[in-house]
Amino acid sequence: MTTLETGRTVGAGIDRVDAPLKVTGAAHYPNDFSIPGMAHAALVGSTVAAGRIRGFDLSQAQAAPGVLTVITHLTAPQLERGPMTLLGGSPPAPLQDDRILHYGQHIAVVVAESAEQARHAARLVRVEYETEKAVLGIDDPRAQIVENPWGLDTDRGDIDAGFGQADVIVEDTYTTPDNTNNPLGLMATLAAWHGDALTVHDSTQWPHNVRTSLAAIFKVPESGVRVLAPFVGGGFGAGLRVWSHVILTVLAARQVKRPVKLVLTRPEMFTSVGHRPNSVQQIKIGATRAGDLVAIEHHGISSVAMEDDDYEPVSFGSAVAYACPNVLTRDRQARLNIPCPGSMRAPAEGQGNFALECAIDDVAHAVGMDPLEFRLRNYAEEHPLSGLPWSSKALRECYTEGAERFGWSRRNPEPGSMRDGRLLIGYGLAGVSYPFYQVPCQARASVRRDGSAHVRSAATDIGTGTYTVMTQLAAELLGLDVSQVRFDLGDSDMPYSPQAGGSGLTGALGNAVHTACRRLVQEFLDVVAGDAGSPLRGCLLDDVTVGDGRIHRVDDPAQGESYADILARHGLEELSADGRSTPPRSEDLGMAPAGAFGAKFVEVRIDPELGLLRVARVVSAIDGGRILNEKTAASQIIGGTVGGISQAMFEETATDAGTGRIANATFGDYLMPVNADVPDMEVLFLGGPDRATAVGTKGVGEIGLVGMAAAIGNAVFHATGRRIRSLPFTIDQLM
């Protein structure tokens, strides 16, 4: 493995290369596309959460102006369920029978000449239900419980013996609510059939998955399906799966033999594209009086839809966070009549870390130790499950340098002891060990006669900066200026890319781009291998380096030539090379590939008379491995931190216990922080390139959120002496 040499371009906080397109409106998001002759679709959602459809009265809807068709389960064709994917099974195919499994389930799709006509007619669809009593709560005894759904339950040491050695045991229940992803962009699909070929614009985080899934669902050749998503208005995980509305748009286009566009409404975004499922967690931690952890036991149970799966091992993070000899983690799911959950902004970690890091603070408090010192004392020097060394871990530096920057030493350990006038002040922290995740990826790189490069892969940029960091990386690896490199993505006809998700795309794609660019330089060397006119003839890849649009010899930088000269002399228009990345495995490395680590330091201010909680300052110290762009990476952490403030203090998807209806499915009712709720946030990047891969990134997409709920909760405890174990931290809990 040749590792990336640090250089001129990688790391620099350059502005986003796609910024001009975005601010001038030239970036086209899925719902910006139109096709001549296009019709529009609107969905009808179930208004009960469980039961059957007895019948429809479609007469008014069908007679409404502009209506082309109304499709229900009575008229829809049989559809295959989508395939098993990297992220688990596909959601159920829509309109396959008369059963209702959740409120908002798509039970009909109306197609009309205009979007307004379709929506108007959708309201005229009359449905008669046979209603059953829905199962809506994790605690409902009728809920079916799925044991160990991901095979990730862990046992280390002897948990009972561990608690037997404990001088102090903390045992509590934590709860986290349903949250809804809510990317700003309403998710949209535009589908056009040409015979058995299909073109789809879609708000997806994974074009290849949409291609593979639609080909399977509609039983057409995958090669004829093209999925485009060059710009996506955010995702937060909502675009990872091929949801019912995507399938219904494609179905509608096939039925009316015209292109069809469907844009979800904001309320539909709460029931159609996943959500973070609620959790109930029991956590029990034992320590000696000296402050050594001896046992951690963490049981998590999350809700899941009736006929779907979802990946939320909320307790698993507790198995890899600390050096503790006796650990037991268990995860279960309760099947409910709820919309399909899905990954949302640090799925599982976001919930599990809240319980773990609050309980760790309680143990530190019980043994009379500073919570920072307690974490450092129980630091996992090796990967706790495998015993292998980490491929990199700078969590210690995150704790110590973050504490320094924050001014942790000014903290008076006594709860309720720090004040500013009538406001109580609290300092809190949390540690984060984010799991490693990478999957195979491919990319293709070309250099043309004019000396410019074109690199592409079917990835997406959901606002994270993929266009920018991959442009920088390719420029570095080819020795070009950023302005000479064009990076394209968002087209399933490009080389395979996995999803933008799991904080894994930059690593997977970066390593594929690395391989493609190295191979491309090799292609140039192959062309001049026997070229008597080239100073590079006979050179091997390790004999050369790149810069200023040239390949030159390491031993004599004056000896070299430009890409353009080589291509011109050999009568070539361009040279191209493919690269692929394979995720590192601990068996091959003799190390545990590490995800990102972080420490979050938070100051809160609380008005005890009004129960008002404000976050005053946040310092995020992050080990994200190699940082490809300081600006976009810091933006990721800042965005995640805001998401964490949101999870801690604002977001809660409220389901009506009687009907299963989501009661706050609008931006007016679903609370999120505004500028006044968000303080100045400092971000420190620590550590260096990870050893497990050539590019050495570790993924900073999700870690920014994790730890915020616990750090705020720990700060609230420090300010008030009150431990709140239920998110979000609302005024009533603070009074």
Catalytic residues: 702
Question: For ligand MOS, which residue has the nearest CB?
Answer: 237
Please state, in angstroms and rounded to a whole number, the distance separating the CA atoms of residues 180 and 276: 6
100/240 with CB nearer ligand MOS: 240
85/205 with CB nearer ligand MOS: 205
204/534 with CB nearer ligand MOS: 204
241/444 with CB nearer ligand MOS: 241
Please state, in angstroms and rounded to a whole number, the distance separating the CA atoms of residues 469 and 693: 17
Token pair 């003799």 is at which residue? 590
Element at 400 (helix H, strand E): helix 395-406
- What is the number of other CB atoms lying within 10 angstroms of the CB of residue 657? 11
CB of 245 to ligand MOS, least distance (A): 18
446 in Cβ contact with 613 (< 8 Å) = no
Q: Could you tell me which residues come within 8 angstroms of residue 705 by beta carbon, excluding any fewer than 6 positions away?
A: 345, 346, 350, 640, 641, 643, 644, 647
CA distances from 407 to 22, 618, 681, 728 (A): 39, 11, 14, 27
CA distances from 165 to 292, 374, 378, 664 (A): 10, 18, 16, 48
Element at 148 (helix H, strand E): none
258/345 with CB nearer ligand MOS: 345
CB of 510 to ligand MOS, least distance (A): 17
- Contacts to ligand MOS by CB under 6 A: 205, 235-237, 240, 343-345, 347, 501-502
234/560 with CB nearer ligand MOS: 234
**Residue 203 backbone dihedrals phi, psi, to 5 degrees:** -80, 70
CB of 150 to ligand MOS, least distance (A): 15
CB of 211 to ligand MOS, least distance (A): 19
Give DSSP secondary structure letters for 339-360.
Answer: PPP---SSTTHHHHHHHHHHHH
CB of 342 to ligand MOS, least distance (A): 8
CB of 238 to ligand MOS, least distance (A): 8
239/495 with CB nearer ligand MOS: 239
CB of 442 to ligand MOS, least distance (A): 20
Tell me if residue 92 falls in helix, strand or coil: coil
Tokens of 543: 């004999």
Give DSSP secondary structure letters for 235-298.
Answer: -TTTTSS--HHHHHHHHHHHHHTS-EEEE--HHHHHHHS--BPPEEEEEEEEE-TTS-EEEEEE
107 in Cβ contact with 54 (< 8 Å) = no
